Amino acid sequence: MILSAPKIAHIGLDNRVYQTHCLHPKNFLQFLGGRGLNSHLTFQNRSINFPMVFITPGLLTGTLCPSSSRCTIGTNISPSLGRWADGNLGGFFGAELRRAGWNQIWLEGISEKPILIYIENQKIKSVDAGNLWGLGVHDTTERIREEFGPDAQSLVIGPAGETQVAYACVMSGDRAAGGGGIGAVLGKMKVKAIVVRGTRGLEPAQPEEFMDACLAAHKQVRSNPLFGEFSQSGTSIITSIYKGVKALPVNYWDKGDSPHAYKFEPGNLKTKVVKSRACYGCSIHCSHELTFGFEGVEYEALNGLGLKIGITDLDECLRLIKWFNNLGLDVVQTSGVLGMLMKMTEDGFAMNMDRIKFGDAEAIWTRVASWMDSRRRDLSFWNGLDAGFERYSEIFPPGPDGNKGDVLKRFRRKYSVDIKNSMPPSLDFRVPENFAATIACMTATRGADHLRSLAPIEAYGQWYGREDLEAMAIHFGIPSDIMKEWLDLDGFDPKINSKSIRGKVAIISYFQDQNAVTDALGLCRFASSWRMGVGLELMAEMVSTFLGIDMNWCGLRAVGQRITVLERYLNSKVYGMNKFSDYPPEKFFVEPLNGRNQLSHHDVRSARDQFYEYNGYDEQGCPTPDTFEKLGLVVK
Amino acid sequence: MRKERIKSLWSHLTSTPVEIVRGFSRAVVLVTRQLILLENPVERILPKSALLCSFQPKKLSYEKADSYLGFLLTKRIRVDYTKCTGCKACELACSLNHYGRCEPEESRIRIDRQCKKSAEFFPFVCQHCTMPECVVVCPSGACTRTKEGLVVVDPELCIGCKLCIIVCPLSSAAWNWRLGQSMRCDLCEGEPVCVKVCSTKAIDFH
């Protein structure tokens, strides 16, 4: 067995030199790539306190494997979360980086002046980017295309990243790696863009077998009954699903439904679509070119800058999304903060400069534009939620015992719906159909993140009987014995009781591992965990033939477990998180949705404790030494 | 008539230095189009869309002489560029099948992004013309047309002069940078893998 050594370009921005590392094969096989390598390196360098950015395509990114275009971008110090963070984007950048022969780009240090890093196969050079500094994402991408050719792929930050807004994201075309404000970290490093051109190609160890495995996966994706609908509508179909159960986050989770919801449904959105577009090697092509001159609008953006902040006009919403893309602002986090400010304004608590009404599009344009100016921004929430509430504590009178902290804590609990400093996606935790999603979001290592372990199969499962589900296991790519365990535990039962909670925990735990593997391999959620059924078995086949090793799906699941365990360890031991961090926001316990649904502390606590037990964590959510040992990990 | 045409092309090529840049598909389209326009303005001036739809044989005059009745006349890779999403899966499948590598630059079918804004992608693939100009201009005899009607390149004879790429009116002759050779679609022995992975049926074999 000969493994081609995975190569890491370690670029020091202070003195602009780079060195090449080769990863030890043992570590490589334990983590494979993508989010796995990011977590591994963040863990190894956990004592370092200057900013680093890891840009890591997945192991199979750039190959024929369906929807393998993803690239994970991570950092050790995120401005919005205050700890490690990562984001994930599709498009063409990751594949180009892999084709250039790199498994990872590791940036550290701070450059004196704005630079652009140009990578052509094994050559890496830094170019002065003074002329690009200050330009929006679209203009920058255009200029880069003119200068470096139409085939070069770029990763850029917008004005939000340059001025270090805590929710700035990294963009490649119209695709964003949001989440932890990694754009701001790059802005601090003064890296405006990373441009890659690669022509070296990827060589699987067993080309013929790899080809067969990939064709089988392509066939699996296309034979799925949901393929047609999802390739036409993308994630915007979720609007219809949530409209059905009245769980849309209308006006910052105030109501579950709105008479304007139909405007954001796929039927209406299709009138704005020019053409389908796809990421690298993807057969699902859920992205669409819109008449507004940008592509790839999806559910989080549509609802975040739509009903969540009271915007009821689709055109206005699309204009906002395009503008946010151009600024390089993460839509989920920013819209969450905007919604929170609107709610505070409604209750009369917002400070003068934060006052903004639901659905006031004009005000959003002027406010967000003014927040690009760092002096004004310091006074508000744009340097992170912690800093914002700290600021607000000044206007509160102290409590009866002279303690400001308590009032502030209560105030924060009332308005902010963040979990671990991260705003949740546009789903409502209060409807019983979303209980598994609640477990997924609250236990996610990155914050309130549905992409860590959410399992749409659990939601579908509620519509089907046991026999149907057993037959459908193949469509979802679930190993049959796992499916049997879930059915025995009533995991698909929409009613919440002690047994079904156990089942839902089992489902979420499985998908936590599978999604970590998906990220490590650079696959898209759409092809794997979400709907299209490229499960662990198919992935294991592709990995074994690509690397020329023997790996079964249990071995691959262990890779996923390792990734999550390291991230949890970081959270617990380095950043002091405990079981209270893995808890949904208070709003969803005290304010019933549609007058009846709300979360119960008993159910949530029981689910959380069972989740810890099921995955081998201690009662505070930190992986036990046994778990470490079982997965072959060593804490140094 | 045709001999004259090729003669003029030759003279044009020898008098003007033609530079082909790396990542060439776009450049080749431009160069080819310029040459076509220079050489025969009346016959070959077609609107962009017509040129790119030219995989329908009727539109090009040299296809009139199509008297060969092999399987290729009934079955070829047909392209509907309106359906192409630009995912490059066909390129990956082709290069993996022929060279054991996932590298779009080594593919015999290739997607050209004409306009970045309007999301138009054009798959180019050899149509195995009845009177292939690449065969006529090939100085080493590497490029030939088999009895079955396939246009093939013998890698051992190919000297890498790139003339076939320049003359191809459909911009479909492909160039392998790594090996320094010209390459043609060989239809994967009747079951093209690119068609297998295309999810929108933008390329179809019928």
pLDDT tens for each residue of A157-212: 999 999 999 999 999 988 999 878 999 999 999 999 999 999 888 999 999 999 99
Q: Do B86 and A295 touch (CB under 8 A)?
A: no
| Element (DSSP H or E) covering residue A153 | strand A153-156
User: Between these two residues, A209 and B83, which has the higher pLDDT value?
Assistant: A209
Q: What angle do the packed helices A498-521 and A601-615 form, to 10 degrees?
A: 50
3-state SS track over A407-426 = HHHHHHHHHCCCECCECCCC
Which of A67, A197, A211, A294 would best serve as a mutation to test chain B binding (most B beta carbons within 10 A)? A211
Is the predicted pLDDT of residue B171 greater than 80, yes or no? no
A192/B140 Cα distance (integer angstroms): 49
Burial of B168 (0-12, 13-18, 19+ CB in 10 A): buried
Interval A580-635: pLDDT, tens: 999 999 999 999 988 777 899 999 999 999 999 999 999 999 999 999 999 999 88
B146/B153 Cα distance (integer angstroms): 10
Q: What is the pTM of this model?
A: 0.88
Q: Do A203 and B197 touch (CB under 8 A)?
A: no
Is the predicted pLDDT of residue B63 greater than 60, yes or no? no
Q: What is the dihedral of CA A437, A439, A445, A451, to 10 degrees?
A: -10
Per-residue confidence band for A577, with pLDDT thresholds at 50, 70 and 90: very high
| Element (DSSP H or E) covering residue A623 | none
B25/B172 Cα distance (integer angstroms): 9
The H-assigned helical ranges of A195-348 are 207-223, 227-233, 237-244, 250-253, 266-269, 299-304, 314-327, 331-347
pLDDT value for A540? 94
Instruction: Report the helix count and the strand count for chain B, using DSSP H and E.
Output: 9, 8
Query: Scanning the structure block, which residue is given the tokens 């393929």?
Result: A227
Q: The tokens of B202 are what?
A: 């933008």
Which residue in chain B has the smallest CA separation from A60? B102
Question: What's chain B's Rg over C-alpha atoms?
Answer: 16
Count contacts between A and B (CB, < 8 Å): 104
Question: How far is residue B125 from each of residues B51, B77, B81, B82, B176, measured CA to CA in Å?
Answer: 14, 8, 12, 16, 14
Put simply, the chain B residues between 71 and 110 with a CB less than 8 A from any chain A CB are 82, 85-89, 92-93, 95-97, 100-103, 105-106
Question: What's chain A's Rg over C-alpha atoms?
Answer: 23
Per-residue confidence band for B27, with pLDDT thresholds at 50, 70 and 90: very low
Query: Scanning the structure block, which residue is given the tokens 């090009």?
Result: B60
User: Between these two residues, A475 and A520, which has the higher pLDDT value?
Assistant: A520
A337/A369 Cα distance (integer angstroms): 15
Average pLDDT over residues A524-534: 81
A169/A335 Cα distance (integer angstroms): 14
Interval A115-146: pLDDT, tens: 999 999 899 999 999 999 999 999 999 999 88
A445/A516 Cα distance (integer angstroms): 11
Chain B residue numbers with beta carbons less than 8 Å from the beta carbon of A204 are 96, 100, 102
Q: The tokens of A241 are what?
A: 């699903």
Q: What is the rounded average pLDDT for all residues in chain A?
A: 89
Interval A451-492: pLDDT, tens: 888 888 888 777 788 888 888 787 778 888 888 999 899 888
A85-94, A476-485, B120-129: least confidently modelled range: B120-129
A325/A264 Cα distance (integer angstroms): 19
A248-257, A623-632, B120-129, B134-143: least confidently modelled range: B120-129
Nearest CB to A202 within list B89, B101, B197: B101
B131/B108 Cα distance (integer angstroms): 20
Average pLDDT over residues B59-67: 35
pLDDT value for B7? 55
Identify the top-confidence range among A376-380, A479-483, A562-566: A562-566
The H-assigned helical ranges of A385-455 are 385-392, 404-415, 435-443, 450-453
Sign of CA pseudo-dihedral B15, B19, B24, B26: negative
